[in-house]
Chain A
Amino acid sequence: MKPKVAFFDFTSCEGCQLDALNLDVGEVLGLLGAVDIVNFREVKTDRSDDYDIAFIEGSITKESEIPRIQAIRAQAKVLVALGACACTGGVNCMKNAYPMEDLLKGVYGECAEYYNTIPARPVSAVVPVDAYIRGCPPTTAEFVNVVKSLLLGKRPDLPNYPVCTECRIAGNVCVFQRGGTCIGPVTRGGCEALCVSSGRFCWGCRGLVDDPNTNSEKDILARYGLTIDQILERFKIYNSYSEVSKCQS
């Protein structure tokens, strides 16, 4: 029996779902041969509530999304958070800096009362998550990697070292050396330092490494006379939900 796979989207840009499936012809056919996609609103009309693996995209930002994610959790044997919004809360959590009424009034004016919103949160803040595919968006390679592990019944083995490690392997000149700031020292790798390699800096889209206070890249910060706090402002773009407070504690 092929495992039954479902994709669900919550509050997000829906880029991860489509990006995950940005596969080559062979990979598409391979995937379709290995699993049954039974629920995928963005590309498929028929849906079934009988599935084994659920990929969740997006963060939870509405009261009505809570029972929905709970029901999915109750059904799925394996629940995977796909992309930054699901994993860390992502950019959606930037709104949490404002009182919800101010937001509604600010955007919808007199019609504010028609709509509702709650502080945005990652999926793991509502239900237990079994695996994370990080990034905004995640790389296709990582998606394929995680799916393969899950199909073999294994826990996906994903990097827990900082982006800096991959950045050095890529041969980049460090952003700090160029006079800029970069969140690479405290961000979990796995993207091969894509943004730095593209001439920019790391925004921290893959979330925090497990122990940012002791990770080996502290020396980069020390060398440039910076503390973790000083680079956190930009880090809040993706990680304002809880990671920042975890880092400061």
Chain B
Amino acid sequence: MSELKIKVNQLTRVEGHGNIHLEATDGKLDRVLWEVTESPRFFEWMLKGRNYDDVSTISSRICGICSISHTTASLQATESAFGIKLTEQAWLLRKLLYDAEMLESHVLHVLFLIAPDFLGADSVIPLVATHGDIIVMAVRLKKLAYNLAEVLAGRKTHPITPIVGGWSKLPDVDELKAIRERLEKAMEDMDTMVAVVKSVAPMIPDFQRPTEYIALKDPKEYSFITGKIASSDGGTFDLVDYKQITNEFCVPHSSSKFAKHSRDSYMVGALSRFNLNSEQLLPRAKKAAKELGMKAPIHNPFFISVAQTVETVHAMEDAINIIDKLLARGLHEEEVKVKPRAGRGVGIVEAPRGLLIHDYTYDEAGNIVSANCIIPTGQNHLSIQKDFDALAPTILEKPEDEIRHTLEMLVRAYDPCISCSVH
């Protein structure tokens, strides 16, 4: 009897803490498990009793990687509860800040966390010596995204200026112009990034597992922070009805809740967005998708980072367009007036990793009575598990190291934000 046992403790190059276990006997899979060991954090309870003015500040601390997403979902939940409509200028700025989030998060994932898997390195550090130009470019792009956020929000991680109903401070026009120039130059970097991803694409494992893909959908644009919830299996859902999709439940081996809709699992994130909305990508992003051979629907989860690459181009293009619009119409101080009222509000955005939901109920003084947050990675955990179940039996004859590495790569492909999923 030959026994195979693989255990990955605290998977690396992901955000948060998760383990992988695989056991097989005589080439037959006994079990393969994706286990989430992150410490529970209880943000929903921390928010209880908090005034709306502190709420997005607290809830952005759910995640250091996608804190702009949490801030945005949080503000939109509160605005929906209070019946606040943003001005056009406030919307444009919010969308621009969101592009910075997509850009930074995707560049970090594709070029810093995933690239070493394809270039045979343990991290990005040795790549400085072997692939210096690409790493210098990656650092430059990440810094650009960071600076864009900084100009708008005071800083990228845990933004300061976005507030309920608008902005506490407008960006400086000259700084915005300077950033626009850097973005335009960085479009060349986008060509390089696409070429790099294309060159490693043949190494992407050939694995297909069709599932349900869920993302926001907006008839007007490739949606990041607007629209309704849509499923590749058909149908759209109003934001307040999100529980019909998420149906959270607990499992003993995971401190994150899991989510499930009509099939055995569903996926959220860049590939889901691509599968549902690729027609609406901006021209350069469409061209990048073509260059990368991407045509929806794609059922290979390892292609999530390729979809992220396409979205990086899209976010860059979108950011340039928005800055042009802002500069053309001029920036004007706008007074932000907030009148709290009792009620419920749901804010849903596409975090870089997928559908992110904040659902708050307020009392008439504008203090939170109850809060519920649902995180993209929480929704993807089951999809990761189901991919494991389908993938593992097909690779059992491979050397142990290769099996381990493939399973690690699969989890990494999802760009999981595990500490976020255990909020």
Whether the pair A41, B45 counts as a contact (CB closer than 8 A) is: no
Whether the pair B161, A199 counts as a contact (CB closer than 8 A) is: yes
Extra inter-chain contacts (5) besides given A19-B157, A198-B168, CB under 8 Å: A42-B15, A46-B123, A111-B250, A200-B168, A203-B54
Whether the pair B160, A198 counts as a contact (CB closer than 8 A) is: yes
A90 to chain B, nearest CB (A): 8
Q: A44-B12, A237-B54 are in contact. Are A22 and B142 (CB under 8 A)?
A: yes
Chain A residues within an 8 Å CB radius of B125:
32, 37, 43-44
User: Which 4 pairs, one residue from A and one from B, show the smallest C-beta to C-beta distance?
Assistant: A15-B64, A199-B168, A199-B169, A111-B250
Stretch of B55-63, B92-100, B340-348 with 4 or more beta carbons under 8 angstroms from chain A:
B55-63
Whether the pair A200, B163 counts as a contact (CB closer than 8 A) is: yes
Q: How far is the CA of A15 from the CA of B156 in the complex (A)?
A: 10
Chain A residues within an 8 Å CB radius of B420:
13
Q: A42-B15, A44-B123 are in contact. Are A95 and B139 (CB under 8 A)?
A: no
Whether the pair A25, B39 counts as a contact (CB closer than 8 A) is: no
- In this complex, the interface size class of chain A, counting residues with CB under 8 Å from chain B, is 35 or more
Chain B residues within an 8 Å CB radius of A104:
40
B410 to chain A, nearest CB (A): 15
Q: A13-B63, A24-B143, A45-B12 are in contact. Are A29 and B42 (CB under 8 A)?
A: no
Whether the pair A203, B45 counts as a contact (CB closer than 8 A) is: no
Q: A114-B252, A137-B158 are in contact. Are A62 and B10 (CB under 8 A)?
A: no
Interface string of A37-61 (1 = CB under 8 A from B): 1001111111100000000000001
12 A–B pairs (Cβ distance < 8 Å), ordered by A: A22-B143, A22-B156, A28-B128, A40-B123, A45-B12, A107-B42, A107-B45, A109-B250, A137-B64, A198-B168, A199-B167, A200-B161
A residues contacting B by CB (< 8 A) are 9-19, 22-25, 28-29, 32, 37, 40-47, 61-62, 65, 90-92, 94-95, 98, 103-104, 106-111, 114-115, 117, 136-137, 194-195, 197-200, 203, 234, 237
Q: Which residue of B lies closest to A28 (CB)?
A: B139
Whether the pair A195, B160 counts as a contact (CB closer than 8 A) is: yes
Q: A13-B61, A18-B108, A28-B139 are in contact. Are A45 and B13 (CB under 8 A)?
A: yes
Q: How far is the CA of A187 from the CA of B113 in the complex (A)?
A: 36
Chain A residues within an 8 Å CB radius of B203:
none
- In this complex, the interface size class of chain B, counting residues with CB under 8 Å from chain A, is 35 or more
B97 to chain A, nearest CB (A): 13
Q: How far is the CA of A237 from the CA of B163 in the complex (A)?
A: 18
Q: Which residue of B lies closest to A44 (CB)?
A: B123
B116 interface residue per 8 A CB criterion: yes
Q: Which of B136, B158, B251, B255 contacts A15 (CB 8 A)?
A: B158
Q: How far is the CA of A184 from the CA of B108 in the complex (A)?
A: 34
Whether the pair A137, B57 counts as a contact (CB closer than 8 A) is: no
Whether the pair B168, A42 counts as a contact (CB closer than 8 A) is: no
Q: Which of A32, A41, A91 contacts B128 (CB 8 A)?
A: A32
B276 interface residue per 8 A CB criterion: no
Whether the pair B46, A95 counts as a contact (CB closer than 8 A) is: yes
Whether the pair B143, A117 counts as a contact (CB closer than 8 A) is: no
Q: A65-B39, A111-B252 are in contact. Are A91 and B67 (CB under 8 A)?
A: no
Chain A residues within an 8 Å CB radius of B14:
42
The listed residue with most A CB atoms (<10 A of its CB), out of B12, B62, B128, B140, is B12
B242 interface residue per 8 A CB criterion: no
Interface string of B231-259 (1 = CB under 8 A from A): 00000000000000000001110010100
Q: How far is the CA of A232 from the CA of B46 in the complex (A)?
A: 16
B residues contacting A by CB (< 8 A) are 10, 12-17, 39-42, 44-46, 54, 57-58, 61-65, 67, 108, 112-113, 116, 122-125, 128, 136, 139-140, 142-143, 146, 153-158, 160-161, 163, 167-169, 250-252, 255, 257, 419-420
Whether the pair A46, B122 counts as a contact (CB closer than 8 A) is: yes
Whether the pair B13, A203 counts as a contact (CB closer than 8 A) is: no
Chain B residues within an 8 Å CB radius of A111:
250-252
Whether the pair A107, B128 counts as a contact (CB closer than 8 A) is: no
Whether the pair A91, B168 counts as a contact (CB closer than 8 A) is: no
Whether the pair B15, A103 counts as a contact (CB closer than 8 A) is: no
Q: How far is the CA of A13 from the CA of B67 in the complex (A)?
A: 9
Whether the pair A13, B122 counts as a contact (CB closer than 8 A) is: no
A2 to chain B, nearest CB (A): 13
Whether the pair A103, B45 counts as a contact (CB closer than 8 A) is: yes
Whether the pair A198, B161 counts as a contact (CB closer than 8 A) is: yes
Chain B residues within an 8 Å CB radius of A98:
42, 45
Chain B residues within an 8 Å CB radius of A14:
15-16, 63-65, 419
Q: A46-B122, A114-B250, A137-B64 are in contact. Are A15 and B42 (CB under 8 A)?
A: no
Q: Which of B13, B45, B255 contacts A43 (CB 8 A)?
A: B13
Chain B residues within an 8 Å CB radius of A41:
10, 12-13
Whether the pair B252, A194 counts as a contact (CB closer than 8 A) is: no
Q: Which of A15, A95, A108 contacts B41 (CB 8 A)?
A: A95
Q: How far is the CA of A16 from the CA of B218 in the complex (A)?
A: 34
Whether the pair B146, A22 counts as a contact (CB closer than 8 A) is: yes
B414 to chain A, nearest CB (A): 16
Q: How far is the CA of A61 from the CA of B128 in the complex (A)?
A: 36
Q: Which residue of A lies closest to B336 (CB)?
A: A199
Whether the pair A25, B57 counts as a contact (CB closer than 8 A) is: no
Chain A residues within an 8 Å CB radius of B15:
14, 42
Q: Which of B17, B58, B65, B161 contacts A237 (CB 8 A)?
A: B58
Whether the pair B128, A95 counts as a contact (CB closer than 8 A) is: no
A57 to chain B, nearest CB (A): 9
Whether the pair A45, B116 counts as a contact (CB closer than 8 A) is: yes
A117 to chain B, nearest CB (A): 5
Whether the pair B157, A137 counts as a contact (CB closer than 8 A) is: yes
Q: Which of A114, A115, A203 contacts B57 (CB 8 A)?
A: A203
Q: A45-B122, A104-B40 are in contact. Are A198 and B154 (CB under 8 A)?
A: yes
Whether the pair A107, B57 counts as a contact (CB closer than 8 A) is: no
Whether the pair B13, A42 counts as a contact (CB closer than 8 A) is: yes
Q: How far is the CA of A13 from the CA of B59 in the complex (A)?
A: 11
Q: Which of B13, B39, B140, B143 contacts A44 (CB 8 A)?
A: B13
